[in-house]
Amino acid sequence: MVRVGVHVSIAGSIERAVARAAEIGCDTFQIFSRNPRGWAAKPLSDEDAARFRSALAVSGMAPAVDHMPYLPNLASPKDEPYERSVQGLEDELVRAAALGIPYVVTHLGHHLGAGDAVGEARVIAGLNRAVGSAPPGVMLLIENTAGEKNSVGSHFASIARILEGCACPDRLGVCFDTCHAFGAGYDLRTQDGVDGVLAGFDDAIGLARLRVVHCNDSKGALGSGLDRHEHVGLGAIGEEGFRLLLHRPEFRDLPFICETPEDGRRDGAGNIAKVRELAA
């Protein structure tokens, strides 16, 4: 059996996320540790962190994954938002360590027209600062992006250059988002496509660096540059693509996190069930 879960809310208190994940049958789950759409963060008390760690230990779910908020832009050429972004990442790594969460997932951001080289250099400098000062026990995972204009990290070669430039490579890994990969032009619909994508990933980055999979179908077409998630099997990738991925030995031991819609067609529990069906 694969480990599969969804992104769950921390509304009410952060420890409630554990119960919400358990209620819908997660083996693993992802949270935002704070408001994902703002810069300010409510301080995480020692008591809150201890309750979360205790609930997580009792649940048996693993790993819990923490996702960075949306606003930080580690590739920004503008000093003020860049400094806030690096500080936000430093703070998030501290929060994850307090919660006993082993992985923090981050997008790398957009260079705003300054060019890939400038964006990647800004990311490398920011990661070196944040990861270099982070508490032990937390790994930062770079998430591939969907090929939007001026984005950094949409292609394996870009992620590879960033990893090669970082001073703490053993504390960095990758979160592979299927929707984003498809939007960036990586075809996951067929056996040949999946074989080629994973071979390309291994050549550029190394499959040993892959720690988490964001298991999302795509509302956009191949190479569209669209980051629009769809229920597993109901989008442009389709059921066969996910079946092929889920049966790859390199993926069988990885946690799969669905960041899929909640609507009349299917909910989080339904996407978990679909992943397990395709993996069986």
Select which of 15, 227, 231, 266 is catalytic: 227
Own/partner contacts of 183-186, CB < 8 Å, gap of 24 or more, are: 183/146, 183/147, 183/148, 183/218, 183/220, 183/222, 183/223, 183/224, 183/225, 183/226, 183/227, 184/144, 184/145, 184/146, 184/147, 184/154, 184/155, 184/223, 184/225, 185/147, 185/222, 185/223
Task: Return the ∠ at Cα 60 (arms to 37 and 95), rounded to 5°.
Answer: 35
Q: Is 103 a catalytic residue?
A: no
Q: Summarize pLDDT for 131-165 with one digit per residue, the tens.
A: 999 999 999 999 999 999 999 999 999 999 999 99
Structural tokens at position 136: 């032990």
Q: What is the pLDDT of residues 5-62, one digit of tens each?
A: 999 999 999 999 999 999 999 999 999 999 998 898 889 999 999 999 999 999 999 9
Q: Is 229 a catalytic residue?
A: yes
For the question of residue 15 being annotated catalytic, the response is no
Known catalytic residue: 7? no
Q: What is the pLDDT of residue 41?
A: 87
Q: Is residue 155 flagged as an active site residue? A: no
Q: Which of 143, 186, 231, 266 is catalytic?
A: 143
Q: Could you give the domains of the chain? A: 3-279 (3.20.20.150)
Catalytic one among 95, 122, 214, 266? 214
Residue 231 annotated in active site: no
Express each pLDDT in 4-17 by its tens digit. 999 999 999 999 99
Among the listed residues 15, 48, 120, 177, the single catalytic one is: 177
Q: What is the mean pLDDT of the segment spanning 166-177?
A: 96
* Nearest to 243, CA basis, from 196, 188, 200, 179: 188
Cβ contacts of 259 within 8 Å, gap of 6 or more: 6, 7, 30, 214, 216, 229
Q: Is 110 a known active-site residue?
A: no
Please indicate whether residue 177 is annotated as part of the active site. Answer: yes
CB contact at 8 A, 141 and 89: no
pLDDT tens for 213-246 read 999 999 999 999 999 999 999 999 999 999 999 9
pTM score, two decimals?
A: 0.97
**Contact between 61 and 30 (Cβ < 8 Å):** no
Please list the residues that pair with 257 across neighbouring strands.
5, 214
Catalytic residue among 37, 47, 253, 263: 37
